[in-house]
Chains A and B, each alone.
Chain A
Amino acid sequence: MRYAETGYNLEIDLTRGNIERVETDPRDTELYLGGLGTNAKLIWDRVPPDVEPFSPDNLLIFGAGLLCGTPATGCNRTIVSTISPQTQLLAFSMMGGFFAPELKYAGYDKVVLRGKSPELVYIWINNDKVEIRDAAHLAGKGAVETAELIRQELKEPKAQVAAIGLAGENRVFFASIEQGRSSASRGGIGAVMGDKKVKAIVVRGTRDINVSRPAEYMQLCNEVLQYIKFRNENPIPGVMPILAGLGSPQEMKVHDEKWHTENFMWGNSRLRRKDFWNEEIAQAWAETLDSMRRRLISCYNCPMTCGATIAPPGRSVYMMKCFSKLTYTMAAMSDLEFGLGIAQSATEYGVDGFSAPQVMAFALELYEAGILTDQDFPGMPADNEGRFYWLLDRIVRREGIGDLLANGTYWAAKEIGQGAEAYAHNTIKKHEQLPLKLSMLNPIYFLMYSTGEKINITQIEGQFPQAPFPTRAERETFVKDWFQVPDDKFKQYFLDWEPRGEKSMPFYPTVQMCCDIVDWQEKMHYIDDALGMCAGLSSFPLKPPYHIHNYPKFISAGAGIAMDEEKLTQAVKRYRTLVRAINIRRGMRRKDEKPPADHWKKRFPELEKDLLDTYYRFKGWNDEGIPTEESLRELGLEYVFTDLEKRGVYADSGDTPPQGTGAQNEKEV
């Protein structure tokens, strides 16, 4: 018997309309756990580096985490993996909501899509019954609308639906997959789904998920619940409110946006407005949120209510999460009423809430700079907010200038030329980043920005405080009940970390300490992505209920796999390295691993070089960031070494792209 997992994947060949239920190898679970880990294994095995994102040979995998469907609180993530049209690297966005547990109850750990359907279809998974159904009548429909229509036509109100909107259908490089109160947004995963002509995946399951040692497992779950209660009652003192508690940043609850609006950048990640927040704005925004927010809502099996249903006047209700609350507002230099309104369109169209607003602000910057002209914007309204709505419409339809913009700032700038590149200033690996510009280099963040392969800072940071606390007394209080650290040395690192003086940034934490800290933070995210745990209860907040000490117990008691901290650390290292190997094989090298040039004003090139050199070595990678033969062998990844060597990867500094055309050159015929 398989525990926690179902032991089956659903393999769907869209070209031939073939559906197969395939038993998986339990040894892979031991080596790669599940979710991202086993997704990466499938991509490595079956998607060679010359496969373009929009090739039928690209896979689109919906992987439920190993522990999804068990009673572990907050364990509800679907890890969607494919080759991204935007970065051309592995994308592995996760979505919360209700999809992953439902898929497990239907009897599958993953849905693996390959090929391309000739016509627009949706996939209906109802336990053993799986059908590919015509979706012609859903073409052009919003993602939320689609979900409702499908539930009605199937008469299955309890079915969970992951759907794309117009942006996905038209292969916008930052199209999302929307699902209930959640979405898989980063990396343009929705565009791959659209390219495969799959409008939605619909799932309903009524089967059991078993755990190996029930009483022990439930005990662990109860301890987590108790600790969540404790943390809800005891926010961490001395840090800003959104870092004090658990969950995804509680954007739907807070009214006070002084910190975000004055520290994050407005427009195309351009302008800092240090005195923005005042009484009047506070009051107006509070009224907006209170009048539009209907209810705070959670994902499956989680008490944290990080999302909300939002009802903007005159528009249909949608579900919002986290920081998309402010990204449109700030990109358009507008107010919250506008932001919550346009986010409704954006959710129906299905676009990423970080990239989309920046792309639009970028277009308007180019217009102001005269690089784009009136001819590029025929019929664009004169008012700023109207322009954003207008641009969003052009982008998701790929009409006129929208066709270029739909590829994101990096590719659009390249094609526009005439100096437009300088305006695409906020990307890493061709992917738009959080709108943050700061003064002095933070060495920990330097490493995370450079090497994070999820290419999104919130998906690697978390366990270590972002900044030193002002006094030693405060730091001592903080470390007192900090049992989540993998090793007590982290407490010392933090205790000695001063805001000013000898032991302050950028030279403290030392290079070696930075490696330890980054590695720990990243590790926790990778564990979450294999188990299907929400980062909001684990890798993202300080002092979370899930950590390196109780995770091995969850895995042994839940999945019945003997596990301890060491073995878990090794497994994580294995699939983390595999993720890197996939990207290396696709041409990623050291030169790609850097934060936006203007992220910090004060830079330290020598220190940065030292940081990257040391971290690469620490991770078992060579100077180009390529996993070494020795480290691959140690992880049991000989097959990766053989492949990389055969392809001449070790001799290649990455100056020549591994293949000819990028996805941006491939146009719809």
Chain B
Amino acid sequence: MPDEKKKKIVKTIKVDVDKCNGCRACEVACSALHAAPPYSSNNPARSRIRIIREPLKDIYVPVYAGEQAKAECLGRDKYVIDGKEYEECAFCRASCPSRDLFKEPDSGLPLKCDMCECDPTLEKPLCVQWCLVNALTYEEREEEAEEEPRPEDVEVSVEALVDKYGLEKVLDTMDRLSLSKKG
């Protein structure tokens, strides 16, 4: 039925910085969950949520790891909220060459919050469960999915791949993929 729009679930974590007490329990939980095997080790430096914490300036910002930025921004942002000046890039989610946030400590590989997609699925993201003071709350809502991607968008994505890996590699991969899809 061509008229019916597709639905998708949007997962949101609402961050209430006023409630954060800087304890970093969220970092602990996240890094433990993502250890292999799960919970076998703990290391906040591997967490996909990090607390920007400057108690003397009353700054507490839980930040989630988003997409990797290949290069650092040319300009930087500084925010002043309620008279408090936040450090450059404080609210940015990127794993970026300009800072050590959201990178695996040894390999430097980027980290990204996956909303605790794991098996068995969790009722709520673990960082949210471990934040007993409710600075983090989890919400799910349904939204209409976007239409099929437009051909231009596909083109842009493929171009990016070609940029990164070279045309030959991408073509090779395409061949392999289509073969395996056809069985």
Contact = CB atoms under 8 A, between A and B. Distances in A.
Given A157-B54, A305-B133, A309-B58, A71 B38 contact: no
Interface stretch (B8-16, B19-27, B149-157, B165-173): B19-27
A409 interface: no
A208 B25 contact: no
A211 B41 contact: yes
Contacts of B21: 295-298, 303, 305
A228 B132 contact: yes
Interface stretch (B42-50, B65-73, B111-119, B137-145): B42-50
B42 to A, nearest CB: 5
A485 to B, nearest CB: 26
Interface stretch (A7-15, A212-220, A418-426): A212-220
Nearest to B32: A71
Contact of A301 (B28, B46, B56): B28
Interface string A607-651: 000000000000000000000000000000000000000000000
Q: Which of B23, B32, B35 has the most CB of A within 10 A?
A: B23
A144 B132 contact: no
Contacts of B42: 69-71, 208-209, 211
A299 interface: yes
A305 B23 CA distance: 9
Contact of A303 (B39, B45, B105, B133): B133
Contacts of B22: 297-298
A298 B58 contact: no
A214 B36 CA distance: 10
A309 B45 contact: no
Contacts of A586: none
B75 interface: no
Contact of A211 (B40, B105, B130): B40
Contact of A298 (B23, B32, B54, B129): B23
B39 A225 contact: no
A70 B21 CA distance: 20
Interface size class of B (residues with CB under 8 A): 20 to 34
Contacts of A294: 58
Interface string B96-110: 000000000100000
A302 B22 CA distance: 9
A302 B25 contact: yes
Contacts of A214: 32, 35, 37-40
Given A105-B44, A225-B132, A228-B132, A217 B23 contact: no
B128 interface: no
A628 to B, nearest CB: 42
A208 B24 contact: no
B29 interface: yes
A16 interface: no
B183 interface: no
Contact of B56 (A73, A105, A144, A232): A144
B83 interface: no
14 contacts: A69-B42, A71-B32, A71-B39, A148-B56, A208-B43, A214-B32, A214-B35, A217-B39, A225-B132, A297-B22, A302-B25, A303-B23, A303-B131, A319-B55
Interface of A: 69-71, 73, 98, 101, 105, 144, 148, 157, 180-181, 205-211, 214-215, 217-218, 225, 228-229, 232, 294-303, 305, 309, 316-319
Report, nearest first, the 9 A-B pairs whose CB atoms are least far apart.
A206-B45, A214-B39, A303-B132, A298-B23, A206-B105, A208-B41, A214-B40, A218-B39, A208-B43
Given A206-B43, A208-B43, A214-B35, 16 more contacts: A105-B44, A157-B54, A207-B43, A208-B35, A210-B41, A211-B42, A215-B39, A218-B32, A228-B132, A295-B58, A295-B60, A297-B55, A300-B23, A302-B23, A303-B131, A305-B21
